Structure 1
């Protein structure tokens, strides 16, 4: 008797699916809402639409539903961020709030590391404004917001 072949589990499934990404992004935007560096980058008074876009993007990226692309087309992340000044200061504040959100998920170490390494990479790739901060402060465990 053979058992049915199981499909490999996606990262999306391994971390808890939509519920985990909803918690991650909600916690992240709680920080953004109070951040004097990041909040001005969001033109909408209500951060809800931005929260939904990030949640749908991350869910799709990690193997969940393709709702983001169905609604918005190809992600084109760098292009979508061109209108906003993103320097190392903004990147590091973004990473600070995202680190807190990832920590709240209490993921197993390997999953935490995989998610965090992607987020650090993505944050660095969004920088579109050079500044005088050589390399910035985005360490893998950034905890305090930069000055």
Structure 2
């Protein structure tokens, strides 16, 4: 699957738009999104960034459930993540949660590569155009979680979502 990854440029504004609801519907709605995300997190647990996640199996299951809800809602599904975001816009909330972790570009690339694998496993039936729109969101949004740079500096990205018509 040709899903490119572009480099983060510290301090450069990142604009993105939420994935289309058509991706959510094509992946199979709530159940299909859960299947994709559970597959993704099972792969994460075996990846180079597993240390960012709870090592206790029950706690990790909770992360999978919670993060699946985020992706269900951000992709246009039911509002199943509202209580988690404490009144903040979902993307902004998710960016701020990642401020608590020291995330570098290599971590981001590992995360995206793992998502690419999950999409190859679980989205084979989805139109490639919809997959690319979902990917564009992930690829751009993930730049906003990187806060630790090769020069030893830290930078916490500002929230800059594209306003949709």
Give matches, 1:1-147, under 5 Å.
Answer: 10-11=21-22, 12-35=24-47, 37-43=48-54, 45-46=56-57, 47-73=60-86, 74=88, 75=90, 76-104=93-121, 105-106=123-124, 107-131=126-150
Q: Is the 8 A contact 1:15 1:111 kept in 2?
A: no
State the distance in 2 between where 1:90 and 1:30 align: 16
Give the C-alpha shift of residue 44 in structure 1. Answer: 5.0
State the distance in 2 between where 1:91 and 1:19 align: 26
Instruction: Please give the secondary structure, in 1, of the residue aligned with 2:37.
Output: helix
Give the C-alpha shift of residue 14 in structure 1. Answer: 3.3
Q: Give 5+ residue unaligned stretches, structure 1.
A: 1-8, 133-147
Instruction: Please give the secondary structure, in 1, of the residue aligned with 2:38.
Output: helix
The alignment's TM-score, normalised by the length of structure 1, stands at 0.76
Q: Which runs of 4+ in 1 moved over 3 A?
A: none
CA RMSD of aligned residues (A): 1.7
The alignment's TM-score, normalised by the length of structure 2, stands at 0.68
State the distance in 1 between where 2:83 and 2:25 align: 20
Question: Which structure has more RCO (C-alpha within 8 Å, separation ≥ 6)?
Answer: 2
Larger gyration radius, structure 1 or structure 2: 1
Structure with bigger helix share is 1
State the distance in 1 between where 2:56 and 2:141 align: 25
